[in-house]
Each structure stands twice: as structure tokens, then as C-alpha cells.
Amino acid sequence: MTTRAVVRGVGHYLPAKVVPNAAFEDTLDTSDEWIRTRTGIERRRFAAEGETTSTMAAEAARRALDAAGLTADEVDAVIVATSTPDLTFPSAATMVQSALGMRRGFAFDLQAVCAGFVYALATANALLVAGQARRILVIGAETFSKILDWTDRSTCVLFGDGAGALVLEAQTGAGTAGDRGILACDLHSDGAFRDLLYVDGGVSTGRTGVLRMEGREVFRHAVEKLADTAEAALGQIGLSGADVDWIVPHQANLRIIKATAQRMGVPLERVVVTVQDHGNTSAASIPLALSTGVERGQIRQGDLLVTEAIGGGLAWGAVILRW
């Protein structure tokens, strides 16, 4: 018998404001056509005034709890994967804890940029398997609209805001790849690539700063590393791309998503794609895609899922789970 971190519920929150690509044509030398063909993005959501990472995270968490049929008191921990917390501290996770009226358990943020949700799943899995908690809310939430340079056409058109959440619960499995829950994790980072993707502000500068990216280089690393990490995670449990029901990738660029699926031998029909509607929501993109995939009727109980992501750091990784 093996302890498995099994998904009990999923939910998401998107801000109401939809911004189509054409909205950037007024202020930048860009076009809907360029953005669609180079990225697959058609629109994104931006948070309203007063809407923050923690308020969106709390709403996604409420929806995941509802789907699980649980109350906040029945959860032992909250992990928020984010690079855009409301404040330097306290953590967005403790703000979510407070918004949910949770007075027990523990809450913390985890920062691995676009790979944040994959890192958070691996961390929650370790806590559940170690018996440190019985149920954990794992949330990805971002407000990248607050850290964009609106004069830089090569970055500001790519990102969006939103939040997604899962409730993970420790359950007993047979110890085989047929079990529901998290089956394998593969994490990597290499700080030698720190200058490819970063925010040029923070505590050391006294201002929040804006996102800077060498897009072409990040693209090259993504195509090279994502299929490798996904295959390494599948290999841990003796599986391959042929066994996968759904790839639920980080939603940064449709060309990266297609290239990764192709390298893994998985047809695009078995990939959950939301980048056209959400843009790149960094750590929120995978839980948003999981929740959307369930809403669309794509992801069903028992399906074998691969989640994979790469982002600033560089940090990347993959988690295999049976829904």
C-alpha cells in the first residue's frame, strides 16, 4: 500500500476583463495576426482595480473546495505558487487562509515562476506522503499585468491574469501506475540562465520592476527541456507518451506546446490548450487548464495526465498524475 496525493476538487477564477489582441494595435507596432501566428494567443484577462493575486486565489480555492464538497476547516495547508504576491510579505497563501476563514493549519507561497505549479504539486505530494498534512489546497495565481512593460511589444502581449486551485487528499493506493493521484515528479533548475527571463526590480532595487525576456532563447530551452522532463517523469513509472491521455502543459506559446507534444509522440488532440483564451498566466496556467479541461469534459476520472512547465530561473519540471 502506498500513500497517494489524489485530486478531490478543482476550480478556477478569471477576471471579467477580456483584452483581445487588437487592443494592443493602438499603442504598439504589433498586430492581432502577429500575436496569433507566433503565439496562438487571441485574448487574455486582466485583473480589475482592487483585484489581486490573493483575491483571485481565494476565489479559485472556494470553487475547488465546493467541487470537493469540503470546507476550508477540513484542509490542513495552503500552498500558493506565485511570482506576483500582493505584497513582499506576508505570503499570498496566508491572505488566502484569512479570506477563507481558516484559523488552523499552515500556509506558504512557492516561487518558481512559470514552473511554480509543477513545483507546488511536487511539494504538496511530499507533504502528504510524509503525513505532514491530509489535505492541501494547491493554488497557482498571478497578476502579471502588474509587472509588464507596456512599451515592450515582445513581452506585454504574452501574459494574462488568473488563478486555479486543486484540493489534494492523501489516499491509499496499490502502489502501481494504475493508482489515482500523483505518480511521479521530475524537477530541475539552472540559475546560469537567470538573465534569460527576469523582473528588473524587487527588494534590492526599491521598486517592483517589469518583466524582461530573451524570448527566442527561452523558446529554444523550452522545446529542448519540456519533452525531456516529461519523459523522465513518465520513465520513473515505466510509462511513455503512448500511455498519456492528456498533456496539460504550461500555456506560454502554442508552438512550444505543439513541439513538445510532437517530441513525446502525443497527438495535439490529446493536449489541453487554453493559451488562446488566457495567454501566459505563469504559475496559474496549469491549474487553469486543468479546471478548464474538466469543464470541457476532456479530463475524466482515471485519465493519465502529464503536466509540464518551464519559466524564469530557468526552472522546469513535470508531474504525472492520474485524475
Burial 214-223 (b: 16+ CB within 10 A, else e): ebeebbebbb
| In the complex, least distance from residue 56 CB atom to ligand ACO, rounded to whole angstroms | 17
Looking at the Cβ atoms of 157 and 184, the one nearer to ligand ACO is: 157
Looking at the Cβ atoms of 5 and 264, the one nearer to ligand ACO is: 264
Looking at the Cβ atoms of 137 and 157, the one nearer to ligand ACO is: 157
Catalytic option among 21, 114, 156, 185: 114
Report whether 39 contacts 156 (CB < 8 A): no
| In the complex, least distance from residue 215 CB atom to ligand ACO, rounded to whole angstroms | 3
- Interface residues with ligand ACO (CB under 6 A) are 30, 34-35, 38-39, 113-114, 153-154, 157, 197, 215-216, 218-219, 222, 252-253, 256, 280, 282, 311-312
Cα separation, 209 vs 224, in Å, equals: 29
Looking at the Cβ atoms of 274 and 280, the one nearer to ligand ACO is: 280
Cα separation, 253 vs 246, in Å, equals: 17
Report whether 221 contacts 312 (CB < 8 A): no
Catalytic (active site) residue 278: no
Closest residue to bound ligand ACO by CB? 311
Report whether 107 contacts 96 (CB < 8 A): yes
57: its cell numbers: 486565489
Cα separation, 194 vs 20, in Å, equals: 31
Catalytic option among 21, 125, 253, 280: 280
Catalytic (active site) residue 280: yes
Catalytic (active site) residue 185: no
| In the complex, least distance from residue 288 CB atom to ligand ACO, rounded to whole angstroms | 15
Neighbours of 202 (CB within 10 A): 12
Catalytic residues: 114, 250, 280
